[in-house]
């Protein structure tokens, strides 16, 4: 590995590591990548492997002794866990340290594929709102699938450039910027990152990161927190960018408590507290994270008077009550022929966001009514809000995989009509059981293609 690394990169090691660590760092890049997952404890979690060890800085995170075929595991498709690089799970420690004891609005600016978004939504209150943003369409599609699978009902997905968010002034309590970077921390996990690396690309990334930070900062409330992370090592894309930002904006760096035994390295650069992850010091890939707080007096943002959602008529609500256990403070609304179950203050926040950003998906979209026939959504199936009176059917492994592949399968049951398909007590999606066949309502674009 050492011989294949760009010489310009190895020369830069002096800026990030003591000389006596260069050899062990380079040796660590020859080790196989580590597989780790983060469990979704709001669901009926199944232990994935007998031999698993905890990620020290994330109570939901575990290392696996070997990498299985996740696509062939129905509990993965049920949202029981997320396959996530262990170093990036430290975001949870940062959020726990700064999280206010109130309902907040959070922006995950570059959210795909969804690791940080599913982590964030597990930490914030149910009354809080997560805005998961991804500008690239195919990545936004993956983000949508992962968030739906996770099963929460207090998020929306947007596809909007960073410069647009600045128009929504003083709106967010926390903004997470996992910035596009030169990917030095992925050299072990993704060898292609080595061939794509150059000093010119580092300069390009650093410049783009500055633009993103400057663009989005007006949307952060005074007193709010900006969490910045990359999967790269060089100081140009990390500490130097944040130092530049604090010199030009009213921000202060926040120190995050952690245990020294974890192997995380805290650095300080011109009053910037930063946390670095190196593969020769811990079980994880290269990662950088820091937190800044915006100074000044909090200003209220101007709220739009128009709510894009329309309350659902009582007659239709009565139909839906048979399907859905309605949480406190939630109400049914309609928008573009779809039915949503959301909190009233979220409907106002989403309406305001809609004046600025393109909204791709809002949860919880529960389905649609065709005359008096309700067609439940896959979103609803993945939550815990399905009424206990609704029929459920437990599938064995072969049946579950055929269901997820949208293949024909048979099952011996007396159940008829709409039914929630389950595997090991975890919801997979909807099916309609007819006298001579089963209509599979698993989303076509999400079907498992691997045989």
Just list the catalytic residues: 231
Residues 263, 191: Cα–Cα separation, whole Å: 24
Look up residue 204 and give its two tokens.
Answer: 């390009």
Residue with tokens 């990662």: 287
Residues 38, 54: Cα–Cα separation, whole Å: 10
Residues 161, 166: Cα–Cα separation, whole Å: 10
Residue with tokens 């811990």: 282
- The end-to-end CA distance of the chain, in Å, is 34
Shortest CA distance to 169 belongs to which of 298, 301, 295, 297?
301
Half-sphere exposure in the Cβ direction for 306 (13 Å, CA)? 4
Per DSSP, 294 falls in state E
Shortest CA distance to 108 belongs to which of 87, 80, 88?
88
Q: Please report which helix (H) or strand (E) contains residue 108, including its range.
A: strand 105-108
């Amino acid at each position: 590995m050492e011989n294949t690394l760009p010489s310009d990169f190895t020369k830069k090691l002096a800026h990030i590591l003591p000389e006596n660590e260069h050899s062990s760092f380079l040796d660590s890049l020859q080790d196989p990548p580590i597989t780790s997952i983060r469990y979704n404890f709001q669901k009926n979690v199944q232990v994935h492997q007998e031999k698993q060890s905890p990620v020290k800085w994330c109570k939901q995170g575990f290392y696996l002794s070997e990498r299985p075929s996740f696509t062939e595991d129905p509990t993965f498709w049920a949202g029981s866990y997320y396959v996530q690089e262990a170093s990036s799970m430290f975001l949870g420690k940062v959020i726990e340290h700064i999280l206010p004891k109130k309902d907040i609005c959070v922006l995950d600016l570059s959210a795909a594929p969804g690791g940080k978004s599913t982590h964030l939504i597990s930490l914030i209150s149910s009354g809080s709102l997560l805005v998961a943003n991804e500008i690239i369409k195919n990545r936004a599609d993956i983000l949508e699938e992962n968030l739906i699978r996770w099963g929460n009902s207090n998020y929306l997905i947007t596809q909007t450039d960073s410069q647009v968010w600045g128009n929504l002034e003083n709106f967010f309590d926390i903004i997470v910027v996992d910035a596009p970077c030169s990917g030095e921390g992925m050299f072990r996990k993704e060898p292609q990152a080595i061939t794509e690396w150059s000093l010119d690309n580092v300069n390009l990334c650093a410049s783009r990161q500055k633009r993103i930070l400057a663009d989005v900062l007006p949307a952060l409330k005074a007193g709010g927190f900006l969490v910045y992370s990359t999967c790269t090592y060089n100081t140009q894309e990390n500490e130097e960018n944040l130092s530049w930002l604090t010199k030009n904006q009213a921000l202060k760096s926040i120190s995050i408590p952690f245990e020294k035994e974890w192997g995380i390295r805290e650095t300080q650069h011109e009053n910037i507290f930063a946390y670095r992850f190196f593969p020769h010091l811990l079980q994880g890939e290269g990662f950088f994270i820091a937190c800044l707080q915006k100074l000044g007096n909090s200003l209220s943002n101007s709220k739009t008077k128009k709510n894009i959602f329309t309350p659902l008529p009582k007659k239709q609500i009565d139909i839906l009550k048979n399907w859905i256990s309605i949480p406190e403070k939630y109400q049914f609304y309609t928008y573009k022929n779809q039915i949503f179950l959301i909190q009233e203050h979220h409907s106002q926040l989403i309406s305001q966001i809609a004046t600025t950003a393109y909204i791709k998906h809002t949860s919880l979209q529960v389905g649609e009514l065709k005359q008096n026939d309700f067609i439940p959504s896959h979103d609803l199936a993945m939550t815990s809000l399905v009424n206990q009176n609704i029929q459920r059917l437990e599938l064995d492994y072969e049946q579950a995989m055929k269901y997820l592949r949208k293949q024909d399968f048979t099952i011996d049951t007396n159940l008829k009509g709409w039914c929630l398909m389950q595997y090991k007590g975890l919801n997979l999606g909807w099916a309609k059981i007819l006298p001579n066949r089963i209509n599979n309502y698993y989303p076509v674009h999400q079907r498992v293609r691997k045989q």
